[in-house]
Amino acid sequence: MIAIIDYDAGNIKSVEKALQLLNQKVVITRERDAILKADKVILPGVGSFGDAMGKLRQYGLVEVIEEVVRRGTPFLGICLGLQLLFERSDEAPQIEGLGILKGEILRIPDGDGLKIPHMGWNSLRFPNQGRLFKGLPEEPYVYFVHSYYLKAKEEEIVTATTEYGTLIHASVEKGNVFACQFHPEKSSDTGIQILKNFVEL
């Protein structure tokens, strides 16, 4: 069973639907026991960094997420869910992130006529081997919606990058922790393959 953590984030239903396409049993929950019992856990997210961290604290989910990671359960952060795993964000400089991974979330630089937020399809490059991208062609296209991007401290955990005004660390993998800045659940067949790879870990 896969637990999707419910902390009032925006894209929960589309993640659930994508997993049901893969014939997965899914529960949307913020109950500690249900999350800890799950075979895999997903932290989705659309919204602001500060509000999201506030909700995770309010619902007692920070400790639950730390416990999931400690136990070695495969864990996937999506979009804002990726950003929350890191130490800090320009979006809410005074608020600490989960700090499970080292790095910071920066504002995408304005300039070159680029629209912020970045919304649309961008191709990925794979600087390091990532288990989420097994079976995918070179430079597949995935769907992004974001105004902030990851700069990870540990280059070796970066499994996918893209360019949009700057080099964006688009996906990371460290041990049992995986995360994508893009939305696999909205990325057509490529996204379904990525979720399938997570399901089959």
Catalytic machinery residues: 79, 183, 185
- Cα atoms in the 13 Å half-sphere on the side-chain side of 109: 9
Q: Contact, 78 vs 43, CB < 8 A?
A: yes
User: For the sheet containing 148-152, what is the strand order?
Assistant: 88-89, 103-107, 148-152
Smallest Cα–Cα separation from 142: which of 123, 159, 164? 123
Enclosing H/E stretch for 16: helix 12-21
Question: 9 and 46 in contact (C-beta within 8 Å)?
Answer: yes
What is the Cα–Cα distance from 28 to 126, expressed in whole angstroms? Answer: 31
